[in-house]
Amino acid sequence: MIKVSVIGATGYTGIELLRLLRQHKEVEVKKLVSRSNPGKRLKDIYPQFPDDNNLLSKYNIEELKESDLVFTALPHGVSQDYVSELYNNEIRVIDFSGDYRYRDVSIYENWYGIEHKYPEIAREAVYGLVELNREMLREARLVANPGCYPTASLLGLLPLLKKGLLDEEFIVIDAKSGVSGAGKAVKEAFIFNEVASSIKAYGINSHRHTSEIEAVIADLFKKSIISFTPHLIPVKRGILATIYTKLREKIEIQDLIKIYKQFYPEGGFVKILTEGVPETKYVAGSNYCYLTLKIDKRTGRLVIISAIDNLLKGASGQAVQAMNVMFGLPEKTGLKGTALFP
């Protein structure tokens, strides 16, 4: 049994993580740390967990030392100190924030507007996109769990990037997300009357995940400049990323699909849909990512559609998947659930 604790247990990614950990037969939950609700039981806040009697506790590094792994589901900026202390105490960490996703912290500082106090730890972190970094994750001490948009986007692009097929001058990512991506934000912009029945773009040309996607692409391939626009859609879960790209050379669709299927072998979480088109309902409630590739012969462009559940493959599910790799378990352990539909 892996002994795990969670810091930030009562946010949406926190409770989604707990939902998954409760179904994971190789995990024992030790501490649930909540900065906002220490002393309460989880079910006092979330009646969704009627049989969970875990007490929420304050952060105490001593108590966490008995854990093999700590998940930190904290806001960016806030995470820096917690992670560094855990790291320095030799506790393995999977961090949900943006704080440790950049090897070069100057990019982080630039896009997040926050100083990074631990650049040397950031350099040690492994970016937790399992399909990209499976090998490095096995021994990782600190895993930076990818952002939701970068996960959907990069899974759509990785095979092309690895093969050098992409024209780095033409990458446009238009992403649509459910509202749970904003977390439990009690702000006017997120009340039902403001969100329901409406569609909007936000963070145009300035969303931080732009830099995260570019940083990973630069590592794999070469510097590229992407346009990325996220949109808020009145659903609770799900991201659909529509990616417009250009290929460096002419290629038939069957060959392209072959490349993708080699990169994402049968049995994994990434599925190539050759009939139909991904909809977020195919994945909401599951850790799958669905991809479809559409070459436009008329324009010579390639459109890639990528669908994930932002709270699963885009956050807590992906973190459990990374944990499985870190501890030598089959990657799908505890993650076999299919989408909740309808």
Show contacts with its own copies in window 16-35 (CB under 8 A).
19, 22-23
**Which one of residues 55, 136, 253, 277 is an interface residue with its own copies (CB under 8 A)?**
277
Binding mask 321-340 for its own copies (x = CB under 8 A): ---------------xxxxx
Instruction: Verify binding: residue 238, its own copies, rule CB under 8 A.
Output: yes
Binding to its own copies in span 240-259, by CB under 8 A: 240, 242, 244
Q: Which residues contact 3 (CB under 8 A, 6 or more apart)?
A: 28, 30, 66, 67, 68, 69
In angstroms and rounded to an integer, the radius of gyration of the C-alpha atoms of the chain is 19
Binding to its own copies in span 109-148, by CB under 8 A: none
**Catalytic site includes residue 148:** yes
C-alpha 129/C-alpha 131 separation (Å) is 6
CB of 95 to its own copies, least distance (A): 22
- H-run or E-run covering 83: helix 79-88
**Which one of residues 196, 250, 252, 328 is an interface residue with its own copies (CB under 8 A)?**
196
CB of 100 to its own copies, least distance (A): 24
CB of 250 to its own copies, least distance (A): 16
Instruction: Verify binding: residue 202, its own copies, rule CB under 8 A.
Output: yes
CB of 110 to its own copies, least distance (A): 11
- Using DSSP's 3-state secondary structure scheme, residue 6 falls into strand
C-alpha 141/C-alpha 127 separation (Å) is 11
**Amino acid identity for residue 241 in this structure:** A
**Which one of residues 282, 287, 313, 324 is an interface residue with its own copies (CB under 8 A)?**
282
Instruction: Verify binding: residue 41, its own copies, rule CB under 8 A.
Output: no
Q: Among the options 2, 69, 148, 161, which is catalytic?
A: 148
Side-chain half-sphere CA neighbours of 236 within 13 A: 7
Piece of the chain touching its own copies by CB under 8 A; list 135-143, 159-167, 257-265, 297-305: 297-305
Q: Please check whether residue 228 is in contact with residue 210, taking contact to mean a CB–CB distance below 8 angstroms.
A: yes
C-alpha 36/C-alpha 88 separation (Å) is 25
Closest to 228 in 3D by CA, of 247, 198, 208, 246: 208
Task: Tell me which residues are annotated as active site.
Answer: 148
